[in-house]
């Protein structure tokens, strides 16, 4: 089961640090001729390994899915998806360079092992805010479109609640609550916001639950994007 929290405070007057993309944990290195190993349950995601060392101009089945990946996370503009093909073209090469620069990878413009390893690592579903900023500039926070926020005075109190129908067996509810309580206390110590747990899940400002696969919000987990968790605005 995967964490799903309808949760955001990025729209407060205080800009809270957040990073959508992050370096992947160290993975076992395999020879350059081998594809990166992933779960067999996701055929499209597994095929990303076949792009290893693909050269510019080459045609590889499924390359269009990689273009959609880069578009989703902010590296390939919408106009570049017109007449989308499985060819590694100049626009995709540019997207690869943007991605490598953002993630601190060696900038080669190629689908080398380190780049594919990073692409195939599970990650947050929030797009990386890079398309309209200088290549070497990096913000440590980002907003949803239109910057929605809670219209309350500062200091602010926000409530959070846990979905009792969507928990996990590996952790008890009390353990989960303790983890979130500590996290909220740490957050509240540096911003003018207090976080209070409530049993009223329906009317809570932030709703927290554990889900897997297609869970009804149009953003399934375990899919081609390898998303582990995501959040929605107020």
Strand partners, 137: none
Query: Per the annotation, does 175 bind a ligand?
Result: no
Nearest in space to 94 (alpha carbons), one of 115, 108, 113, 81: 108
Instruction: Kindly report whether the peptide bond that precedes residue 29 is cis, defined as omega within 30 degrees of 0.
Output: no
Query: Per the annotation, does 169 bind a ligand?
Result: no
Query: Per the annotation, does 215 bind a ligand?
Result: yes
Query: Per the annotation, does 13 bind a ligand?
Result: no
Query: Per the annotation, does 223 bind a ligand?
Result: yes
Query: Per the annotation, does 222 bind a ligand?
Result: yes
Torsion angle in degrees (nearest 10) through CA of 214, 40, 95, 138: 70
Query: Per the annotation, does 226 bind a ligand?
Result: no
Binding-site residues sit at 124, 205, 215, 217, 222-223, 230
Binding residues for Ca(2+): 205, 222-223
What residues form the annotated binding site for Zn(2+)? 124, 215, 217, 230
């Amino acid at each position: 089961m995967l964490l799903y929290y309808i949760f955001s405070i990025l729209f407060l007057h205080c800009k809270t640090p957040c990073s959508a993309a992050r370096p992947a944990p160290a993975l076992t290195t395999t020879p350059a001729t081998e594809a990166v190993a992933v779960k067999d349950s996701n055929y499209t995601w597994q095929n990303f390994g076949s792009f290893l060392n693909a050269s510019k101009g080459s045609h590889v089945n499924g390359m269009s899915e990689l273009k959609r990946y880069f578009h989703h996370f902010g590296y390939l503009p919408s106009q570049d998806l017109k007449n989308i093909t499985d060819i590694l073209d100049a626009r995709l090469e540019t997207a690869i360079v943007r991605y490598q620069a953002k993630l601190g990878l060696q900038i080669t413009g190629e689908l080398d092992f380190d780049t594919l390893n990073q692409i195939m690592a599970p990650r947050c579903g929030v797009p990386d805010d890079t398309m309209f900023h200088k290549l070497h500039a990096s913000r440590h926070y980002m907003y949803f479109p239109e910057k929605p926020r809670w219209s309350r005075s500062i200091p602010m109190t926000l409530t959070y609640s846990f979905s009792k129908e969507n928990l996990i067996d590996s952790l008890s509810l009390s353990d989960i609550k303790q983890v979130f309580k500590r996290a909220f206390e740490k957050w509240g110590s540096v911003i003018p916001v207090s976080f209070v747990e409530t049993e009223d899940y329906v009317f809570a400002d932030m709703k927290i639950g554990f889900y897997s696969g297609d869970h009804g919000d149009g953003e399934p987990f375990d899919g081609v994007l390898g998303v582990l968790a995501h959040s929605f605005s107020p």
